[in-house]
Structure 1
Amino acid sequence: MLSAGLRIYTLILTLSATLVLAWGQSRQGLEADLRAMLPPSGGKMVLAAKNLKTGETVHVDSATRVKTASVIKLPIMVEVFYQVKEGRLKLDEPISFNDSDKVQGSGILQDLHGGLSLTLRDAVILMITLSDNSATNLVIDKVGIARVNDRMRSLGLKETKLFKKVFVATSEPPSPESAAYGLAMTTPNDMIVLLEKIARGEILDQAACDQMMTILKKQRSRDAIPRYLGESTKDKPAVVVANKTGSLNDVRNDVAIVLTPNGPYVMAIFCYDLKDTRWTADNEGTLAIAKAARRIVQHFETSMIP
């Protein structure tokens, strides 16, 4: 007959094995679900996510290089705050905006008269919240492309590179990487590293990260990661999403810090080679990102083992 102590030890081992098996099955089911969320008409999806409370990560081909589209504006903002801390820039310093600074695509500045005076802070807010391309170029002129790339490398983002300004032609032939990825490139793994540093207050200091979080929370594009994460109710606190999107005809991207009552999560989801090139809220890539984000949050909320 087993002693009481041995019976308890055996029970603990049995329960642990059961929990590990259930967790493994849950992870396998999660990955299968995420891979099944590919846009129905065609396309690819890669992603990375992390539960910052437990350390659990989720990966689907997360080392894949992708076109950032406007997601690169997040690293550009990070570099602004570094240069402010270093004394190179001031958030309240004026920037002149002229007709020659106007470029196409997203944003509002292209529709305004030239001769405006903005602050660097204004330009950063427009760059993130409205993904304003003209404002982005003003900011790039201030910080410099090389400094953005050097900073990302110093932070451990080895696959993140900004190649050029937005919709500005250059006389120099593009590098092979620029020819392949356009404006900029990254990986889901790189992006969750950067997002985690912001969420934990590890970019410069907590005050700088709080300012960046405030800007990201004002993001106007809410059709991807935030879409299905829910509004607050009487019995359920709101899920707050601080995110930056990026889109091209055949690309839909979103990266975010997701603040829930159970802890913060970070995620970076990229859809590309899309056959659905509609610029609508129901683009298949946008919907795939929204569904993947919801499934990841559901998994993190119900995961039994860190």
Structure 2
Amino acid sequence: MPGTQLNPIHGAEPNKPTPQANTSSPELSALLLPLIEKHRGDVGVVIQHFPSGESFAYQADKPMSTASLIKLPLLMATYAKVHDGGVSLDTMITLTEADKVPGSGILTKHFSPGLTLSLRDAIQLMVAYSDNTATNLVIDTVGLDTTNTLMKKLGCDETRLNSKVFRRDTSNDMERSKAFGLGSTSANDMQRMLRALHDRSFVDQATSEQILKHLYDCEDRMKAARYLPANVKVAHKGGSVNAARTDAGIIDLPDGKGAILFCVLTMNNQDESWTDDNEGDVLSAKIGKAVYDYFVKKE
């Protein structure tokens, strides 16, 4: 089958590396810089409003750890391979004891070896519950390097899936694994991916909408969605490890006010706690609330 013909990803040119804010909006800078500057760790942020284009970016080219946010690029790579005919969503996968890994999700704790599930269901578990075992099943089905090949094609040079989850022995770049863990990205890379999904220009409209459906089903509301009204729809994926907390996606605004693309990356965090008030999670939550309120109230 021929390779996927990817439509161009629209949006602003990537920002130059800088520790300062790059923004079209002094108002957004005034809202967000005080939050960012208080954080005890490294931060990369992109905010962009549709359709106005009003934006904010901070250290947006800086390579950062993804934790489970790397599952979003993997999700896109999987659907690109499905579109090419290289794999089917109906492919059946059998869970073995050796497949089980710790961390987030439900397969390891609640299901027995011998369970069979479709690739479609493994993808849903990977995104909705951030299931680590399901993620490795997806990687095994589509190939470890498939994500990195796609990211290179998209110009997302800082985005790399380094290994299977909790399986560093599978690493395709041990130095990068040591530096970033499971994966790496930049806020600008995430902006490019999310803009393509928002515009329905990743592969084609139907593929983009299938991917967004998974992201809308993500059940994590402890980061950017935490302080938003319960009825606000957010298509996103986040990630958490001891010293890194991440979240990226699209917040749908009410009353025809458009949507907010967001990415908040933190790493080298001093707060490595696993409590509800973890500083990295709370930073994402405060940024999510600040930009939501700003654009909802904006005339």
Q: TM-score, normalised by structure 1?
A: 0.84
1:129 paired with 2:128, answer yes
The 8 Å contact of residues 24 and 54 in structure 2, kept in 1 or not, is answered as: no
- Range with bigger deviation, 252-261 or 41-50: 41-50
User: Counterpart of 2:262?
Assistant: 267
Rounded to whole Å, the distance in 1 between the matches of 2:39 and 2:74 is: 33
User: Counterpart of 2:272?
Assistant: 277
The 8 Å contact of residues 50 and 260 in structure 2, kept in 1 or not, is answered as: yes
Structure 2 gap ranges (5+): 1-21
Superposed CA deviations along residues 19-67 of structure 1, whole A, max 9, x for unmatched, are xxxxx99933532432321486722322001112012221011111100
The 8 Å contact of residues 39 and 285 in structure 1, kept in 2 or not, is answered as: no
Question: Which of these residues, 52, 55, 64, is aligned with residue 62 of structure 2?
Answer: 64
Query: How many residues get paired?
Result: 275
Residue 174 of structure 1 and its aligned partner are, at CA, apart by 4.8
Rounded to whole Å, the distance in 2 between the matches of 1:174 and 1:159 is: 13
Say if 1:130 and 1:286 are closer, same or farther in 2 by CA, change over 3 A: same
**Superposition map of 1:31-46 within 5 A:** 31-38=29-36, 42-46=40-44
Rounded to whole Å, the distance in 1 between the matches of 2:186 and 2:77 is: 18
Code of the residue aligned with 1:282 in structure 2: it is D
Q: What is the SS of the residue equivalent to 1:58? A: strand
Rounded to whole Å, the distance in 1 between the matches of 2:184 and 2:222 is: 22
Residue 98 of structure 1 and its aligned partner are, at CA, apart by 0.5
Code of the residue aligned with 2:238 in structure 1: it is T
User: Counterpart of 1:289?
Assistant: 284
Rounded to whole Å, the distance in 1 between the matches of 2:182 and 2:246 is: 14
Rounded to whole Å, the distance in 1 between the matches of 2:23 and 2:149 is: 41
Q: Percent identity?
A: 36
Say if 1:52 and 1:164 are closer, same or farther in 2 by CA, change over 3 A: same
Code of the residue aligned with 2:44 in structure 1: it is V
User: Counterpart of 2:150?
Assistant: 151
- Range with bigger deviation, 86-95 or 38-47: 38-47
Structure 1 gap ranges (5+): 1-23, 232-237
Say if 1:171 and 1:258 are closer, same or farther in 2 by CA, change over 3 A: closer
Rounded to whole Å, the distance in 1 between the matches of 2:269 and 2:133 is: 26
Rounded to whole Å, the distance in 1 between the matches of 2:102 and 2:64 is: 22
The 8 Å contact of residues 41 and 276 in structure 1, kept in 2 or not, is answered as: no
Rounded to whole Å, the distance in 1 between the matches of 2:125 and 2:23 is: 44
**Superposition map of 1:4-15 within 5 A:** none
Residue 196 of structure 1 and its aligned partner are, at CA, apart by 1.1
User: Counterpart of 1:219?
Assistant: 218
User: Counterpart of 1:103?
Assistant: 101
Rounded to whole Å, the distance in 1 between the matches of 2:86 and 2:170 is: 29
Code of the residue aligned with 1:137 in structure 2: it is N
Rounded to whole Å, the distance in 1 between the matches of 2:74 and 2:124 is: 12
Q: What is the SS of the residue equivalent to 2:56? A: strand
Residue 172 of structure 1 and its aligned partner are, at CA, apart by 7.0
Rounded to whole Å, the distance in 1 between the matches of 2:53 and 2:120 is: 33
Say if 1:284 and 1:204 are closer, same or farther in 2 by CA, change over 3 A: same
Rounded to whole Å, the distance in 2 between the matches of 1:39 and 1:163 is: 30
Q: TM-score, normalised by structure 2?
A: 0.86
User: Counterpart of 1:205?
Assistant: 204
Question: Which of these residues, 242, 245, 249, is aligned with residue 249 of structure 1?
Answer: 242
Flag the structure with larger Rg. Answer: 1
Superposed CA deviations along residues 211-264 of structure 1, whole A, max 9, x for unmatched, are 111111111110111112213xxxxxx421011010101111100111113002
